[in-house]
Amino acid sequence: MSTRAAGEFTFIDLFLSHFPRARVPVGPGDDCAVLAPSKGAQCITTDAVVEDVHFTRAWFSPEDIGHKALAVNLSDLASMGAVPRWFVCALALPRDFPRRDLSGIARGMSALAREHNITLVGGNFTSARELSITLTAAGELLPGTAPITRAGGRPGDVLYVSGTLGDARLGLQQLQAGLRRSAAILRQKRPLPRMTLGRLAARFASAGLDLSDGLAQDLGHLCTASRVGAELELERLPLSRAVRASLGSEGALAGGEDYELLLAVPPERTSAFERACLRGEESVTRIGRLTPGVPGHIRDASGRSLRLPAGFDHFRGGRRIDRSGREG
């Protein structure tokens, strides 16, 4: 049965049935959600996933799409060191969108929401030519912590990155080549927001952000905001065996959608930060340091200026997946 036959309020009820009842003064069903006052400072983010830009239904299951829509917003909260609290969801659906696929989107999204204890409190449905999901999510800073912003870095701060780089880019390339299952494809379809690391890092980091557009581009954003340069140790970049063989360091630098965290930590805090990561079983790797000089200027460990590959940009001919699955 399609959404055309079901009607708007039928599939609103269908979607909401996959989520637990919101424990807020007023939840889904009214013109606005009403939330209880919070003790900590609030972090608010919004992000969208759009068909044939961030995913194609030929490759992504509905559960994958629902997971990814929430994951990219959770990653923003993680990068600020926030504890996730609530979100609202606006879905734009083609008129013939199948009800079973709507249920799948809800299942993928609600599973990740339960994992991170974030509550759906409202949203909106509308019709459109292509599927898109836009979320607004809120988190709360823990007492005694400040938000991790892009602008707090200082010369001498040590750069760390979580996990491994380039997997999502490799996963996209493998999908384009006809492969349907691999560890890299799973990273492309189901990114894992680094929520625990973000809260841990709030005690140590001076600056940071999540890697949505590739390390090369996102490091440039951090350096520009902090008015510093950077020294990058390319040989230390954490790469999976498959990424190292297929993309190499340069390809991994340009790979978007990894949703790992890039963190700058003052040198006097690095030992404590590494011990805390070890205790929390959070994988981080030192990849360089921030330097004085021209904001955004990045060099390698020998002092040579690096011409880094461009990352993803929606408005400069960046990655787009068309209906046949080709990347443009």
Residues of each annotated binding site for substrate: 54, 257, 312
119 token code pair: 């509550």
pLDDT per residue as tens digits for the range 124-140: 999 999 999 999 999 99
Q: What is the DSSP string of 105-123?
A: HHHHHHHHHHHTT-EEEEE
Residues of each annotated binding site for Mg(2+): 31, 45-47, 76, 124, 210, 213
pLDDT of amino acid 111: 98
114 token code pair: 């339960």
SS3 322: coil
Residues of each annotated binding site for ATP: 123-124, 150, 212
pLDDT of amino acid 62: 97
The helix (run of H) or strand (run of E) holding residue 77 is: helix 62-80
- Chain centroid, CA 34 distance in Å: 27
CA-CA distances (angstroms) from residue 208 to 134, 141, 170, 215, 271? 24, 15, 24, 12, 18
Q: Does this model's pTM top 0.85?
A: yes
Q: Which residues of the chain form CATH 3.30.1330.10? A: 3-141
Q: Are 211 and 260 in contact (CB under 8 A)?
A: yes
CATH of domain 3-141: 3.30.1330.10
CATH of domain 158-300: 3.90.650.10
Pick the closest to residue 248 from 188, 162, 163, 165 (CA basis).
165
Residues of each annotated binding site: 31, 45-47, 54, 76, 123-124, 150, 210, 212-213, 257, 312
CA pair distance 283, 285, nearest whole angstrom:
7
pLDDT of amino acid 134: 97
pLDDT of amino acid 314: 47
Low-confidence ranges of the chain (pLDDT < 70): 1-8, 307-328
- Chain centroid, CA 80 distance in Å: 12
CA pair distance 170, 153, nearest whole angstrom:
30
Other CB atoms within 10 Å distance of the CB of residue 140: 17
